Structure 1
Amino acid sequence: MKKLIASALLAAGLLGGLVGSANAACGSVSIAEMNWASAGVAANVDKIILENGYGCSVDLVTGDTLPTFTSMDEKGQPDVAPELWINAVRTPLDKAVSEDRLVIAAPLLSDGGQDGWWIPKFIADAHPDIKTVQDALKHPELFPAPDDPSKAAIYDCPPGWQCQSSLENLYRALDMEKKGFKLVDTGSAAGLDGTIANAFEHKTGWLGYYWSPTAILGKYEMVRLSFGVPHDKAEWDACTSVTNCANPKVNSYPVSEVYTVVTKSFADKAGVAIDYLKTRKWTNDTVNSILAWQTDNQGTNEDTARQFLKTREDVWTKWVSPDVAAKVKAAL
């Protein structure tokens, strides 16, 4: 019996040593907390899971797309960018990956970043024939302009944003002025949000540019319309996205690729923690809903990460092993 107990204790000690070794391998981790909501929440979700589930020591550092990517590529810090919109850095990222400086982990947004033209779901439900932008343009009476109900409205991208050029080119390509639609400048992102809130409050039609993931699309159910054509990247780069393009054509918005990117040095030392980062992903609908909670409750990124972990075990427990999940739950 003494021998059995001794053997059990030895085995437990060895197992504990292996677990401790795996956690120790993770060590210190620096994670970029980007300066927009979805990425900030993702960074805090990672911090909670890596610290409590894998024994890492996590430091959050302020980030933004280009500065963070450049620092990771040139200096090897921070270790992790949880939400990198890689269309903006595609060429240098491919080079950094091929030269073993950076590693692409999971596609954080499994359905990609989405922007385009949207209508309220209550309009789509009441008019099931509206599937495309062209379908919507047949019903100008459903989308009254705020200052002139005899005209229809298309709500523009906030001034100074790159998407303003693409929307205005598509407005001309679709000959929308002749179809009774006028461009409405909302003045800012907050102004654009206000027009959506007003449309839902008064149950009036709304057609305009928006993007996902965002709190607004978590709070108000919207439907993204098709343009009826595939995305033509060459046309997009040469004309659709170029201010005042002379001869714009109808085109679809690209789906933005959004990945978690880590440094090669971190990937090599992180042990089982890197498996988590290569597995972890969520949908736009999931992110929209938690961002809506954050807005309604004035929550911090950490508050929102904890709310997600407490209420969406159906999502995040699939990213980790049962023992890691148990540790994270116990820490919440």
Structure 2
Amino acid sequence: MAPAAAQAADAVQCELDRPMRFGGMNWESNLVLVEVERFIVEHGYGCDSEVLPTETLPALAALERGDLDINTEVWLNSVLEPWNQAEATGKVKRIGDIYMGGEAWFIPKYTAERLPDLKKAADLPKYWEDFKDPEMPSKGRFYGCPAGWGCEIVSTNLFKALGLGDTFTLFSPGTGATQKAALTAAYNRGENIVFYYWYPTPVVGSMDLVKLELPPYDADKQKCLTDPDCTDPQASDYPENPVFTAVSAGFIEAAPKLTEFLSKVSVPLDDMGAAMAYMDEHEAEPDETADWFLKNKQDVWTQWLPADVSERVKAAL
């Protein structure tokens, strides 16, 4: 009689007769979740897979065409109109909510302790000297969003809406890596910094941060804040940002069991933050971080799977 493990492997046959095609976005949480899902589909469902490097809008078009099976992380607020149009075709479907992502203006906890009355972003002009820009010491420095990213438009309009231009420079790093390096270096030196960031990310996961209060979220104000030609920006907090899994309609038809698994993928923000912190601290690659997640967060991912699939994945770790 064959060993139990061999029997289990023989019993698993992938619903697809080709590799499963994942969209590989260029931010850390997506790269890690894709590797977690790939490990599960390989060892739990007997499937091959591949990652096709892409970006948000091209990935959406590829899902519609059926060239891509799954986009693990769609950030709704970043692609609201294109997503609504794609969904209306019936060729793509939102199948599961991963977590509620967010965006905020942050200061380190040590800065909050030094400046206990600094609670609101609108109060920053009073404290500009505590955030001196090394290249323009007559002003403070606010670290905005990387140049050319969608969040740069909102950062810039919010900066204007709060009237910070007289006392602060708006520093837009050239790339995400430049932004991360500048913030990490300043934080490690214990310098006062104020900056925009999104989460879950290694930066927010690994630093002890405090959010600055912004005025309550207002949909109309937010609409203007997202417009590069907004003539009279008004301050509003960032909306919550649903992050969900999308798949092509053809994939749902061909692989109902895989679709059911993917529809259940949901990660508590604290657990995703812990994975991001591990990635940062150990300078780990996405697959190494996925391995850490699978070994250390079994209470999370086993809820996504039938018991037999879960046991096969555990046996492969």
1:242/1:56 Cα in 2 relative to 1: closer, same or farther (>3 Å)? same
In structure 1, the partner of 2:222 is 236
1:268/1:131 Cα in 2 relative to 1: closer, same or farther (>3 Å)? farther
Tell me how far apart the structure 1 counterparts of residues 265 and 37 of structure 2 sit (CA, whole Å): 9
Q: Any stretches of 5+ residues in structure 1 without a counterpart?
A: 1-15
* Shift, 1:210, TM fit: 1.6
In structure 2, the partner of 1:111 is 100
Paired residue secondary structure (1:251) = coil
Instruction: Give the greater-gyration-radius structure (CA).
Output: 1
1:89/1:183 Cα in 2 relative to 1: closer, same or farther (>3 Å)? closer
* Shift, 1:154, TM fit: 1.6
* Shift, 1:309, TM fit: 0.7
State the Cα deviation string for residues 251-277 of structure 1 (Å, max 9, x = none).
222333321111122222323322221
Tell me how far apart the structure 1 counterparts of residues 301 and 138 of structure 2 sit (CA, whole Å): 49
RMSD over equivalenced CA pairs, Å? 3.1
Tell me how far apart the structure 2 counterparts of residues 155 and 100 of structure 1 sit (CA, whole Å): 40
In structure 1, the partner of 2:182 is 195
State the Cα deviation string for residues 68-93 of structure 1 (Å, max 9, x = none).
2112212x122111112334443453
1:67/1:51 Cα in 2 relative to 1: closer, same or farther (>3 Å)? same
Tell me how far apart the structure 2 counterparts of residues 91 and 150 of structure 1 sit (CA, whole Å): 41
Tell me how far apart the structure 2 counterparts of residues 57 and 143 of structure 1 sit (CA, whole Å): 51
Equivalent positions of 1:220-299 (< 5 A) are 220-232=207-219, 234-237=220-223, 239-243=224-228, 245-299=230-284
1:102/1:188 Cα in 2 relative to 1: closer, same or farther (>3 Å)? closer
In structure 1, the partner of 2:70 is 80
State the Cα deviation string for residues 8-31 of structure 1 (Å, max 9, x = none).
xxxxxxxx99x948x443554222
**Count of matched residue positions in the alignment of Structure 1 and Structure 2:** 311
In structure 2, the partner of 1:4 is none
1:146/1:198 Cα in 2 relative to 1: closer, same or farther (>3 Å)? farther
* Shift, 1:45, TM fit: 0.8
Tell me how far apart the structure 1 counterparts of residues 150 and 34 of structure 2 sit (CA, whole Å): 26
Asked if structure 2 preserves the Cα contact closer than 8 Å seen for 1:34 and 1:63, the reply is yes
Q: Any stretches of 5+ residues in structure 2 without a counterpart?
A: 1-6
* Shift, 1:295, TM fit: 4.0
Structure 2 residue 92 is matched with structure 1 residue 102: yes
Paired residue secondary structure (1:84) = strand
* Shift, 1:199, TM fit: 3.0
Tell me how far apart the structure 2 counterparts of residues 279 and 235 of structure 1 sit (CA, whole Å): 34
1:97/1:149 Cα in 2 relative to 1: closer, same or farther (>3 Å)? closer
Structure 2 residue 164 is matched with structure 1 residue 176: yes
1:86/1:279 Cα in 2 relative to 1: closer, same or farther (>3 Å)? same
1:186/1:44 Cα in 2 relative to 1: closer, same or farther (>3 Å)? closer
Asked if structure 1 preserves the Cα contact closer than 8 Å seen for 2:100 and 2:241, the reply is no
Asked if structure 1 preserves the Cα contact closer than 8 Å seen for 2:120 and 2:213, the reply is yes
* Shift, 1:120, TM fit: 0.9
In structure 2, the partner of 1:63 is 54
In structure 1, the partner of 2:3 is none
Amino acid at match of 2:200: P
State the Cα deviation string for residues 88-110 of structure 1 (Å, max 9, x = none).
443453344444322211112x1
TM-score where L is the length of structure 2: 0.84
Paired residue secondary structure (1:157) = coil
Asked if structure 1 preserves the Cα contact closer than 8 Å seen for 2:106 and 2:209, the reply is yes
Tell me how far apart the structure 2 counterparts of residues 25 and 190 of structure 1 sit (CA, whole Å): 39
Tell me how far apart the structure 1 counterparts of residues 253 and 113 of structure 2 sit (CA, whole Å): 50
Amino acid at match of 1:85: W
In structure 1, the partner of 2:80 is 90
Amino acid at match of 1:250: A
Paired residue secondary structure (2:105) = strand
Tell me how far apart the structure 2 counterparts of residues 58 and 164 of structure 1 sit (CA, whole Å): 34
Tell me how far apart the structure 2 counterparts of residues 322 and 121 of structure 1 sit (CA, whole Å): 42
1:296/1:138 Cα in 2 relative to 1: closer, same or farther (>3 Å)? same
